[in-house]
Chain A
Amino acid sequence: MPRRRVRLVTISCAGVPFRAAAGAIAAAALVLASVPVRARADAATGTIAGVVRLVARGDTPLRSGAYPSRRVNRPAPRPSEIANVVVYVKDAPAAADLPVTRAAIAQRDESFVPRVAAITRGSVIEFPNFDPFFHDVFSLSRGATFDLGRFPKGDKRERTFTRAGIVKVYCHIHSEMSATILVFDHRLFTMPAADGTFTIDDVPAGTYAVTAWHERIGGTSRTVTVEPGGRAQVEFSLPVVADDTEP
């Protein structure tokens, strides 16, 4: 793995500072691995570890579109919903030497799979179409406004995300399709394993707000203090509404 220190240009936008690396370096650092790579070990760092649990939300009944009088209780979320969770350190300082990755969000069965992706700034996401009909990918988000157009089965489009933030992508043809791409300009994020456990390494010692983000309920934060060489534990219980659109 190439380790190279690059000169960073700091720019400010909407009050949130972040850094952009030069395009050539980013291109050179392009790898296909989907897991963030530790760039540098530091004696003054610790680890944040924990677990995310999805719990049923029983407070408000679900509203149905077709029958206004009928209300159904919300079922418990599926365990697979854990794939739609991203845990990250909020307000982490922007890192200079971000690894550039290439990830894929497939279009399968009229749905984006996976529906949530977390990438470092500058990474590329491919959108391969596996359905026997046309799909489209577009976004209206401030961080990346684009429309990749329609393309048939077997074809694919890709997009490089150069600004940190949340990018929501949709399909113009199928209004029920949506996916969320979280673009970070640091490496302090991860997606929990199927059992909900997660680990974020190389966190500089200090006190942080750790956020567990789910595509439908947004972020939930906990405060943790990371000791040098220590292992801070944090636990999340996300009241997730079951998504009956997912097969």
Chain B
Amino acid sequence: MRTTPPRFAVRTLIVTLATVAFVLSAALLVAAISVRDRVRAGVVDKLETGQHLLAALEERRGQELRAQVATLAENPTLKAALDTYQTELHTSGGAGRQDLVATIARELNKLAARIDADVLAVADESGTVLAVAGRRGDEWSSRRAAGGSDVALVTVPTGVFRVTSVPMMLQGTELGTLELATALDDRYARELADLSGARVLIVSGGAVIASTLGSATMLALTPAVIHALPGLDVVTLDGEEYAVRSLLEQRAAQVFVLDSIDASARPAVQAALQTMGLIALGAFALAVLASLWLARTIARPIDTLSRSLSVMTQSRDWDHPVPPGGDSLEVETLTSAFNTMMQAVKAAEAETLNAYLGTIRALAVALDARDPYTAGHSERVSAISVAIGRDLSLDEGQLEVLRLGALLHDIGKIGISDHVLMKSGPLTPAEYEMIKQHPGVGARILRSVAFLEPHIPIVELHHERPDGRGYPHGLHGHDIPVLARIVHVADAFDAMTSARAYRAALPMSDAMRELWRCAGSQFDAEVVQALTRTLPRLEREAPAGARGEAAMRLVRA
């Protein structure tokens, strides 16, 4: 079973929206990717800048630390105690050393508390740590100072420290070393993170010792990843991409800064997608409107055309051409092509009709020609009937039906044998019955041709009488169609005014008199009256003797 195809508007809507959706999603995808790429480059750049900046800051911080420690190393008591300690050690074998070490420790504690140091330590010339102070001083006891002035990362069992050491000098002699150590712990990582605006990861010996990363991210930091970190630019942890840069790389520990590319890209991508989404919405709305308008523009003329066509088909009115409406050349062309075609159809139809009429006329003429007395009878009856009809103000359609019906009114006589039809003597009742069958036979013949349908009543009922004594049905008065009544009168009139084998032709006046005598009973009075009125004109146009020809002319006209 064939389903109804969708409306034109639906089709254009679907095609337009699909196209717009495809283009927009491609644009969205490209935009998202390009935004992400740009942000990634930006993040990497930012981190690189941050790396340089932090390196410079660290350098400066190191110098400041050295300056701070150098200042601390100038503490007079500390220096005096250390110097005295060493002198005593050399001269008196170290007696009273404990007091001096206690003095050093006391001073150191004060200093450490003042600067909130993780570890502050004093070592002698040989590097032996004499005293340690500070929050995490306990972890320092086992260490030997490296001496000299430097910043270095130092690993002790409990952690990694960033050590700034400065020699303690007295009059050009090195007394020992003062060390300030900062633990590389979470606090330090947080400080660095605040400075750099990125995540910080501190690694020592392949293990993380401090970080500002989330715990889920930390889980992704397997030893293999940590091992590979120094060589990486970008690392993926827990599904997030991080740009990574090394901030400090020493044997004891490495400090990395990480910045999530995804986290930075997300707002930018979101903003871009939002803008694109708005544009997409607008584009969709526009596309819908445009496609609907387009569909209307195309479909409306077609609609109009098909509607007028269907009206035309229903009313079978082919005479008025379809108005050339519509805004497009194609529809115009279609309309005019249709009109041309309809004209051709109309011409062909007229031609067919003419061919039919010719055939029917030939049939009637052939019928009349069987009997020399009735030659031209059908055509004359047709002409007289039309004249009467015109007098009764029938419309053109009815006159046309009348003309053809009158021409065919005796077609049923085909089925009557020649000896009955042309018998000069009176008819036997059986023969009369045979004659009375000719209207029914005629009607049967006409029924087989569709376009002769309107003429059937004329053929079938042209022997009915107003008083009901006619045949074949015995209808009364106005039950008989007016066309049949007209043909009845015209038939009788022509029969009376024509010669027969058994009598001469009656003059018209006699015939009229006879008609008037039977008006109201055998003939319809109105019709007889109309004939009376129209007779002079008939006579004028057809003088006696040439009436048949005149009638023929009338019919032809």
B16 at the interface (CB under 8 A from A): no
Assuming A165-B91, A216-B173, A218-B90, is B166 touching A174 (CB within 8 A)?
no
A247 at the interface (CB under 8 A from B): no
8 A-B residue contacts at CB 8 Å?
A14-B92, A62-B172, A66-B70, A115-B171, A138-B80, A140-B81, A141-B88, A172-B76
A216 touches B172 (CB 8 A): yes
A168 touches B149 (CB 8 A): no
Provide the residues of chain B in CB contact with A215, threshold 8 Å.
171
In the complex, what's the smallest C-beta–C-beta distance from A2 to chain B, in angstroms? 32
Provide the residues of chain B in CB contact with A101, threshold 8 Å.
none
Bound CA–CA A246/B172 (angstroms) = 9
A199 at the interface (CB under 8 A from B): no
In the complex, what's the smallest C-beta–C-beta distance from B6 to chain A, in angstroms? 85
In the complex, what's the smallest C-beta–C-beta distance from B523 to chain A, in angstroms? 151
A166 touches B172 (CB 8 A): no
In the complex, what's the smallest C-beta–C-beta distance from B59 to chain A, in angstroms? 13
B95 at the interface (CB under 8 A from A): yes
Partner of A176, one of B77, B84, B93, B171: B171
In the complex, what's the smallest C-beta–C-beta distance from B425 to chain A, in angstroms? 164
B148 touches A172 (CB 8 A): no
Specify which of B77, B166, B169, B171 lies most central, judged by the most chain A CB atoms within 10 Å of its CB.
Answer: B171
Provide the residues of chain B in CB contact with A14, threshold 8 Å.
92-93, 95
A175 touches B150 (CB 8 A): no
Partner of A63, one of B74, B84, B167: B167
Bound CA–CA A178/B150 (angstroms) = 26
Partner of B91, one of A166, A173, A174: A166
- Contact mask A39-80 → B, CB, 8 Å, 1/0? 000000000000000000000001111101000000000000
Bound CA–CA A171/B74 (angstroms) = 12
Bound CA–CA A138/B169 (angstroms) = 18
A245 touches B76 (CB 8 A): no
B87 at the interface (CB under 8 A from A): yes
Provide the residues of chain B in CB contact with A68, threshold 8 Å.
66, 148-150
B311 at the interface (CB under 8 A from A): no
Provide the residues of chain A in CB contact with B73, threshold 8 Å.
65
Partner of B171, one of A218, A219, A245: A245
B87 touches A168 (CB 8 A): yes
Partner of A65, one of B84, B100, B169: B169
A243 at the interface (CB under 8 A from B): yes
B34 at the interface (CB under 8 A from A): no
In the complex, what's the smallest C-beta–C-beta distance from A66 to chain B, in angstroms? 7
Bound CA–CA A242/B172 (angstroms) = 8
Assuming A65-B167, A165-B91, is B172 touching A141 (CB within 8 A)?
no
Number of interface residues of A (CB under 8 A): 36
B418 at the interface (CB under 8 A from A): no
Provide the residues of chain B in CB contact with A246, threshold 8 Å.
171
B379 at the interface (CB under 8 A from A): no
Provide the residues of chain B in CB contact with A166, threshold 8 Å.
87-88, 91
B92 touches A65 (CB 8 A): no
A175 touches B70 (CB 8 A): no
Chain B stretch 108-131: residues in CB contact (< 8 A) with chain A? none
B169 touches A168 (CB 8 A): no
Bound CA–CA A216/B90 (angstroms) = 12
B410 at the interface (CB under 8 A from A): no
In the complex, what's the smallest C-beta–C-beta distance from B100 to chain A, in angstroms? 6
Bound CA–CA A141/B91 (angstroms) = 11
A139 at the interface (CB under 8 A from B): yes
Chain A stretch 202-220: residues in CB contact (< 8 A) with chain B? 215-216, 218-219
B79 at the interface (CB under 8 A from A): yes
Bound CA–CA A245/B170 (angstroms) = 9
Provide the residues of chain A in CB contact with B92, threshold 8 Å.
14, 16, 142, 165
A141 touches B79 (CB 8 A): no
Bound CA–CA A117/B75 (angstroms) = 25
In the complex, what's the smallest C-beta–C-beta distance from B250 to chain A, in angstroms? 15
Bound CA–CA A26/B455 (angstroms) = 181
In the complex, what's the smallest C-beta–C-beta distance from A120 to chain B, in angstroms? 17
Provide the residues of chain A in CB contact with B90, threshold 8 Å.
218-219
A65 touches B70 (CB 8 A): yes
Specify which of A62, A170, A216, A245 lies most central, judged by the most chain B CB atoms within 10 Å of its CB.
Answer: A170
Chain B stretch 8-24: residues in CB contact (< 8 A) with chain A? none
Bound CA–CA A217/B149 (angstroms) = 22
B238 at the interface (CB under 8 A from A): no
Bound CA–CA A244/B167 (angstroms) = 16
Partner of B103, one of A140, A168, A175: A140
A65 touches B149 (CB 8 A): yes
Determine the residue in chain B with the shortest Cβ distance to A145: B99
A171 touches B88 (CB 8 A): no
Determine the residue in chain B with the shortest Cβ distance to A74: B172
B179 at the interface (CB under 8 A from A): no
In the complex, what's the smallest C-beta–C-beta distance from B411 to chain A, in angstroms? 139
A82 at the interface (CB under 8 A from B): no
Provide the residues of chain A in CB contact with B70, threshold 8 Å.
65-66
Chain A stretch 6-31: residues in CB contact (< 8 A) with chain B? 14, 16
B76 touches A63 (CB 8 A): no
B174 at the interface (CB under 8 A from A): yes
Q: A172-B77, A175-B76 are in contact. List 6 more A-B contacts (CB 8 A).
A: A16-B92, A65-B169, A68-B148, A172-B76, A241-B173, A242-B172
Determine the residue in chain A with the shortest Cβ distance to B62: A68
Bound CA–CA A243/B93 (angstroms) = 27
Bound CA–CA A245/B79 (angstroms) = 16
B83 touches A178 (CB 8 A): yes
Provide the residues of chain B in CB contact with A142, threshold 8 Å.
88, 92, 95-96, 99
Provide the residues of chain B in CB contact with A173, threshold 8 Å.
76
Assuming A64-B149, A140-B100, A166-B91, is B80 touching A243 (CB within 8 A)?
no
